[in-house]
Structure formats: structure tokens, C-alpha cells
């Protein structure tokens, strides 16, 4: 178990999962024990730490209760956690491995590194462990004040040593702004001013370097009546003399930039289970890919996972990258000049790289991820996309649409923000649930729809979903272009398909209730398999030579569509989300295939009903009843289609073949 004090006080399991410590006084107890850095703390002192001048009536018993709560929280999180809080004659002690200890070890190693490049690497890794003021929000509490101040002094010293190493590597220009800020925060710290003077002089700014010295001298005289020390005075003389030795050689190894994760603008809704799984998963695996349809919230979830991890996170947004620029985007995310220097900059320091929206450059992203993971043993990669990277060792997790309750909550929250006065209640709950169901629980679609409540109301919104792409045609201006409208999100995925995958996807839309593999083959291929999965037959109507799909290739196409998160598989059945199906219908009509593919569908279900009737008295009777149960909605659509086209013979084949099923199952069949 790891404890964090270099920033807000936190606890993580060994695999990186955050540990929740309930109740304020228990968190204060944890901070008080951590501030003593493994030394026993007498009970009376802990009582003062927790309650100050207002202890409870039975302070010793109250303290024991808080200790018990802390032990329970640690023990529930990880085996052995309870034993970390020990008690003895001298008091309570917490046996904690902290990020402050990791920081001290990296600084120690930096001071014995063979050269400035190695020292800079180690110091960069040490400083990346800081997440804010030490012991926040307890840094001003009496029990933590001295420890927090000492850690802050160690951080400043490490910053000075890192600046010294970077100056030795010739990084004068990039250091000027950083050191100027540090001198502003610590105006009488002589070493910082000396480093700033060197950075300015090495950047060709001699007069500014001398001005920095004069400003320090004035401040010291005003505040303490002193002059700068001899080391700084000597540096001033060297600058006055134009000492060229103060300028160092160019850097051999680049530095990683400080990690910066984008701050979310809205709360994450309905992903608690995913966060609970993905944190430990990324702690144990080096490459995890989140897949799912457009707008399902892969990026938002990935950023939340990174935000809960103790190691620094870097984000490479690949949506705008071409194949040749993937490495450049990743190098920019790390703050290094090019791909060749990424591994050198990382060395063995821990870090997590998010490769976000990699589907359109999946081959290049996969190759780069493989190279970096092999070269940088401390690196982990979290990728998002509409298909896996396909790299050895990859662990894939599909991000599902929101469950109905979470979808309703997200919609209601966003609608209330958009439409003042909106509230979820008994009068609109059914309509809201129906909107969420028809939008498949996709967060992007829900948020776009919620923004229409102000203008249309729930009733008008629900009525307009039959033309959802026209209705949801304008999203927030801050979103990427592919997420500004519902249509744009689908078109992004469509453009990534080849012609044969597009043909298969648009034809699958005619199966309103999903289908089996044989049903997919029958309607997608220009020759399809029969409903019993047996002999190939010619599909009725004219061929569609633009696609020319064969029955043999449809399973592979279907598998690729599943990989690309456009088709979902549930056991032996394949389904399209309603929104994906609506888009595929449009494409089917554009291709001029609608009538032909519908005839194939209706013929398939007529043959299915006939096969079931032929087997009604045999040993397969129950299997066919189950098959018809699953297909009853499709059978109804097929009968309706035949009736609309006035194909009486086809309609009679379907209804007549199902008479026995109605009697056997007690379920109504299509009429």
C-alpha cells in the first residue's frame, strides 16, 4: 500500500487503486500519523491533533474508535492493510511507504549520478511525484507544519539541483521563465538568483543577469542589512568579465515536461464500476485499450483513470493526427523534440501515456506503443479508440453505453443546466427514460439531446427522435468537430470502413431486433446461407454488383465491425445500436439497396419459419421454439413488409408456418 503526502493526503493500493478513507477525523488521524514519519505518537498527542482544545468526553475511547475506522478502511482496500496501524507502549505508529520516501530516494540517486543528464532524469522523476502543497489540506495544522515545511524545502532544493543540471546541459533559454517565477516566489534565496543569472547570461542577456543581482542586493539590504554572499558576488564578476565558461554545451538528453491533465468541466456520471476495475488493471498491465462506439465516453473515462493514478500522466490527442504525425504528437505530449528522444527522456521513470482516439491511425499508434513499451520499462499506455491496437500484451475493455438509471441521471443533469426550471419528476420520467433508451445510453447523444429541452420540451424532443440526425445537429462549440453533431460522430466511424465493411453494415440495419450469423450472411451476401445454417442459396431479386459480397467473407466482415464498435455481439446474436441502425438505414437508401435487402430479410424469416415448422414434431422442437422466441420481432417486421408490398404468398408462408408455434408457446405470432 502506498501513501501520498506530496500534495493532498492520499492512499493507493499497490496496484494503483485509490483507497477511500471515510470521515473527516479519520483522515486527520491518517495525516497526523503520516506526519510523524514512522515514529510512535502518544494517544494524548493524537487527541490534541484531532480535537485541539475541544476533546470529546471520553477522548481515549473516541481515539480508539477512529483508529479502528482507519484500520478497517485500509484492511478493506488490501490484505494486510489493517496491520499497518500498530499500537504499543509508546503510542500508535503507521508503517507507511510514502511518495516522500520515493522522492528522497530519487534525489539521493541523482546526487550520485555520473553526469548531469542522469541527475536531471532522476530529479525530474522525483519532482513529478509532487501533486500540490505537502500534506494538503493539513499543511498548516500544528502536527504537520514542520514536516510540510521541511518537505517544501527539499522540493526547492531539488528544483535548484535540477536547474543546475539543466544549465550544465545547456538549457539556458527554457529555464529563464521557470527560474524567474521561482525567484519571484522566493526573492531572497541566493542560489535561485544565481541560477537565474546564469540562465540569463547563457541566453545572451548579460544586462538582465546583472540586474537580477542588483535586485537581490537591494532586497537583502532592506530586509536583513546584508550583502549577497561571496559565491554570488563572484558570479557577478564573471558575468561582468564575459566569462565564456558559464555557457555549457547543448543538451544530450531532453527533459520531460511537467504532466498536465485537462480539467473536466462536468462530473463523470455512471462509471464507478469501470473506474474501480481500470485503476487496478492499469496498475498490473502495461497496455490497456478502451474501445466503444463514438460518443460513449472513452476519453472522459480514460482521463478519470489517469487522474486517480499516482504516477504522472501525459495525453496525446490523435484525432487530428495523420499517420506520419503520430510520433510527433506523442513527442509533443512528453515535451521532447522527436520520437527518438522519448525513450531516453523517460528512462525507467514511471509514467502513463494516453493515446486518445487512435482508431484512424491505429497501425502507426500500435507500432509506436510497442516501441515505447519495449524501450521504457516504467511506461504504461492507456489507449482509446473504436478498435483495439492489436499489440502483444494488450488488454482490451469495451466501454458500454450507460445503464438506464445513469443515462437518465446524466440527461436530467444536463437538461437542468440547459433549461432553467427543468426537473425530473413523475410527470416526465417515462418520456425521459424513453429518450434515453432510444439514444442507446450514449453520453454524447444524451448531452446533445438535453441541450434541446430548452427549445422543444421533453415531448417535442421525444417526437423528433425519428429524425435524430437533423434534430441533434449542433453541439457545444468547445467540442471537437467530430462530436459537434450526432451525424458527425457516426460519419467519423463510417469513413474508417472500407467499401465491403460499409456494405455489410448498411445491410445489417434491416434486422431491427438483431440477428444470428446465418441471418447476417443471408441479407449481407449476394449469396446467403439458409436459416438452418446449411446449404447456400441464391437470395431473391437482382444482385447488387457494387458490393459483390460472398457468404464466405461475411463472418470476417462482421468480426471487423464488432472490433470497430459498430456492431455488438450478445452470445450468438449481433445487434446495432438504434442510432447506428438509423445511420446505416440512410446509407442503405443512398446505395439504392433498400428494396432488395428487405426482400432478402423477409425471405430469410419466411424460410426460418418453414424450417421451424418442418422440425416441430422432431427432437429439435424445443430448440426451434427458442429460436422463434428470439426472432419474433423480426418475424413481425418481415410479415409487415410482405403485407405492405402486397406479396400475399410470402405473407401466407410466414403466418401459416407459425400457427403451430402460437399453439405450442402460447405467444401471439405476427398477423
Q: What is the mean pLDDT of the chain?
A: 86
pLDDT at 288: 96
pLDDT higher than 90, residue 309: no
Would you tell me the crossing angle of helices 443-450 and 404-418 to the nearest 10 degrees? Answer: 30
The helix (H) or strand (E) run that includes residue 3 is strand 2-4
Kindly state the percentage of the chain with pLDDT values over 90.
Answer: 48
pLDDT higher than 70, residue 670: no
pLDDT tens sequence across 30-56:
999 999 988 999 999 999 999 987 888
CB neighbours (10 Å) of residue 108? Answer: 11
Cβ-in-10-Å burial (0-12, 13-18, 19+) of 452 comes to buried
Spatial separation of the C-alpha atoms in residues 440 and 147, rounded to whole Å:
52
Q: Do the Cβ atoms of 512 and 634 come closer than 8 Å?
A: yes
pLDDT higher than 70, residue 649: yes
Q: Do the Cβ atoms of 568 and 399 come closer than 8 Å?
A: no
**Average pLDDT score over residue span 137-150:** 92
Is the Cα torsion angle 433, 437, 415, 585 positive or negative in sign? negative
Q: What share of the chain is helix, strand, coil (3-state, %, to 5)?
A: 55, 10, 35
Spatial separation of the C-alpha atoms in residues 507 and 293, rounded to whole Å:
19
Q: Which residue has the cell 404468398?
A: 649
Cβ-in-10-Å burial (0-12, 13-18, 19+) of 325 comes to middle
pLDDT tens sequence across 57-98:
888 899 999 999 999 999 998 898 999 999 888 899 998 889
Bridge-based pairing state of the strands 536-538 and 527-529: antiparallel
For residue 210, give the C-alpha cell.
546583472
Higher-scoring residue by pLDDT: 381, 485: 381
The helix (H) or strand (E) run that includes residue 538 is strand 536-538
Spatial separation of the C-alpha atoms in residues 486 and 294, rounded to whole Å:
9
How many Cα neighbours within 13 Å face the side chain of 290? 30
Q: Do the Cβ atoms of 355 and 384 come closer than 8 Å?
A: yes
Q: How confident is the model at residue 478 (pLDDT cuts 50, 70, 90)?
A: low
pLDDT at 323: 55
Kindly state the percentage of the chain with pLDDT values over 70.
Answer: 93
**Average pLDDT score over residue span 353-376:** 91
pLDDT at 479: 58
pLDDT tens sequence across 527-555:
644 454 433 333 333 333 345 888 999 99
pLDDT at 517: 94
How many Cα neighbours within 13 Å face the side chain of 653? 18
The overall longest dimension of the chain from CA atoms, in Å, is 108
Is the Cα torsion angle 219, 222, 223, 225 positive or negative in sign? positive
Q: Is the peptide bond before 357 cis (omega within 30 degrees of 0)?
A: no
pLDDT at 666: 65
Spatial separation of the C-alpha atoms in residues 310 and 125, rounded to whole Å:
12
State the SS3 of 566-584: CCEEECCEEECCHHHHHHH
pLDDT at 314: 92
Cβ-in-10-Å burial (0-12, 13-18, 19+) of 110 comes to buried
pLDDT at 528: 45
pLDDT at 156: 94
pLDDT higher than 60, residue 252: no
Would you tell me the crossing angle of helices 443-450 and 486-495 to the nearest 10 degrees? Answer: 150
Using left for φ > 0, alpha for ψ between -120 and 50, and beta otherwise, residue 623 falls in: alpha
CA torsion, ordered 584, 585, 591, 596, to nearest 10 deg: 120
Spatial separation of the C-alpha atoms in residues 536 and 504, rounded to whole Å:
18
pLDDT higher than 50, residue 130: yes
Q: For the chain, how many helices (H) and strands (E)? A: 29, 14
**Average pLDDT score over residue span 252-262:** 73
pLDDT tens sequence across 167-211:
888 888 888 999 999 999 999 999 999 999 999 988 888 899 999
pLDDT at 529: 45
pLDDT tens sequence across 389-401:
999 999 999 999 9
3 state SS of 263: coil
Spatial separation of the C-alpha atoms in residues 212 and 199, rounded to whole Å:
11
Task: Look at the chain and count its residues.
Answer: 671
Spatial separation of the C-alpha atoms in residues 335 and 322, rounded to whole Å:
19
pLDDT higher than 90, residue 480: no
pLDDT tens sequence across 207-223:
999 999 999 999 989 88
**Average pLDDT score over residue span 231-236:** 90
pLDDT higher than 70, residue 379: yes
| Cα 262 to Cα 30, 51, 265, 354, distances in angstroms | 29, 37, 9, 12
Lowest mean pLDDT segment, chosen from 316-330, 477-491, 623-637: 477-491
Amino acid at each position: 500500500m502506498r501513501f501520498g503526502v506530496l500534495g493532498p493526503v492520499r492512499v493507493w493500493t499497490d496496484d494503483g487503486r485509490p483507497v477511500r478513507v471515510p470521515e473527516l477525523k479519520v483522515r486527520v488521524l491518517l495525516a497526523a500519523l503520516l506526519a510523524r514519519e514512522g515514529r510512535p505518537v502518544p494517544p494524548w498527542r493524537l487527541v490534541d491533533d484531532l480535537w485541539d482544545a475541544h476533546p470529546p468526553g471520553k477522548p481515549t475511547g473516541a481515539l480508539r474508535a477512529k483508529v479502528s475506522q482507519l484500520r478497517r478502511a485500509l484492511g478493506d482496500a488490501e490484505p494486510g492493510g489493517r496491520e499497518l496501524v500498530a499500537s504499543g507502549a509508546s503510542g500508535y505508529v503507521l508503517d507507511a511507504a510514502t511518495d516522500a520516501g520515493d522522492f528522497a530516494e530519487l534525489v539521493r540517486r541523482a546526487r550520485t549520478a555520473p553526469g548531469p543528464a542522469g541527475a536531471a532524469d532522476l530529479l525530474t522523476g522525483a519532482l513529478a511525484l509532487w501533486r500540490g502543497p505537502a500534506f494538503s489540506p493539513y499543511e498548516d495544522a500544528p502536527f504537520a507544519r514542520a514536516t510540510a515545511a521541511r518537505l517544501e524545502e527539499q522540493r526547492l532544493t531539488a528544483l535548484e539541483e535540477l536547474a543546475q543540471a539543466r544549465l550544465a546541459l545547456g538549457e539556458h533559454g527554457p529555464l529563464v521563465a521557470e527560474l524567474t517565477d521561482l525567484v519571484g516566489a522566493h526573492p531572497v534565496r541566493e542560489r535561485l538568483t544565481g541560477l537565474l543569472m546564469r540562465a540569463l547570461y547563457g541566453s545572451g542577456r548579460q544586462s538582465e543577469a546583472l540586474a537580477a543581482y542588483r535586485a537581490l542586493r537591494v532586497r537583502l539590504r532592506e530586509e536583513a542589512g546584508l550583502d549577497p554572499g561571496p559565491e554570488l558576488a563572484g558570479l557577478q564578476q564573471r558575468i561582468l568579465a564575459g566569462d565564456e565558461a558559464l555557457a555549457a554545451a547543448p543538451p544530450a538528453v531532453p527533459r520531460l515536461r511537467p504532466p498536465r491533465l485537462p480539467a473536466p468541466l462536468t462530473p463523470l456520471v455512471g462509471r464507478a464500476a469501470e473506474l474501480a476495475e481500470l485503476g487496478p488493471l492499469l496498475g498490473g498491465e502495461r497496455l490497456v485499450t478502451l474501445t466503444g462506439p463514438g460518443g460513449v465516453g472513452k476519453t472522459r473515462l480514460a482521463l478519470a483513470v489517469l487522474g486517480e493514478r499516482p504516477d504522472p500522466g501525459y495525453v496525446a490527442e490523435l484525432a487530428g493526427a495523420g499517420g506520419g504525425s503520430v510520433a510527433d504528437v506523442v513527442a509533443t505530449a512528453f515535451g521532447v523534440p522527436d520520437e527518438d528522444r522519448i525513450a531516453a527522456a523517460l528512462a525507467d521513470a514511471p509514467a502513463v501515456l494516453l493515446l486518445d482516439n487512435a482508431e484512424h491511425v491505429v497501425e502507426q499508434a500500435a507500432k509506436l506503443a510497442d516501441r515505447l513499451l519495449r524501450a521504457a520499462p516504467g511506461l504504461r499506455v492507456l489507449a482509446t479508440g473504436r478498435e483495439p491496437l492489436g499489440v502483444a500484451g494488450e488488454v482490451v475493455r469495451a466501454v458500454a453505453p450507460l445503464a438506464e438509471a445513469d443515462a437518465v441521471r446524466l440527461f436530467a443533469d444536463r437538461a437542468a443546466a440547459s433549461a432553467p426550471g427543468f426537473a425530473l419528476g413523475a410527470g416526465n420520467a417515462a418520456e425521459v427514460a424513453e429518450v434515453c433508451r432510444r439514444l442507446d445510453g450514449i453520453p454524447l447523444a444524451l448531452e446533445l439531446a438535453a441541450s434541446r429541452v430548452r427549445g422543444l420540451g421533453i415531448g417535442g424532443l421525444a417526437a423528433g427522435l425519428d429524425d435524430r440526425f437533423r434534430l441533434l445537429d449542433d453541439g457545444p462549440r468547445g467540442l471537437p468537430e467530430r462530436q459537434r453533431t450526432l451525424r458527425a460522430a457516426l460519419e467519423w466511424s463510417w469513413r474508417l470502413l472500407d467499401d465491403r465493411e460499409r456494405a455489410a453494415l448498411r445491410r445489417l440495419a434491416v434486422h431491427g431486433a438483431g440477428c444470428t450469423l446465418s441471418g447476417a450472411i443471408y441479407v449481407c451476401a449476394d449469396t446467403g446461407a439458409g436459416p438452418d445454417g446449411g446449404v447456400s442459396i441464391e437470395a431473391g431479386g437482382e444482385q447488387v454488383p457494387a458490393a459483390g459480397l460472398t457468404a464466405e467473407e461475411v463472418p470476417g466482415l462482421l468480426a471487423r465491425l464488432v472490433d470497430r464498435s459498430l456492431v455488438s455481439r450478445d452470445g450468438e446474436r449481433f445487434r446495432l445500436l438504434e442510432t447506428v441502425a438509423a445511420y446505416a438505414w440512410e446509407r442503405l437508401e443512398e446505395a439504392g439497396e433498400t428494396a432488395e435487402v428487405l426482400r432478402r430479410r423477409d425471405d430469410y424469416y419466411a424460410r426460418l419459419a418453414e424450417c421451424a415448422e418442418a422440425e416441430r414434431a422432431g427432437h429439435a422442437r424445443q430448440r426451434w421454439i427458442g429460436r422463434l422466441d428470439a426472432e419474433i420481432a423480426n418475424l413481425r417486421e418481415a410479415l409487415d413488409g410482405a403485407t405492405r408490398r402486397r406479396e400475399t404468398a410470402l405473407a401466407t408462408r410466414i403466418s401459416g408456418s407459425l400457427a403451430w408455434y402460437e399453439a405450442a408457446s402460447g405467444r401471439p405470432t405476427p398477423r
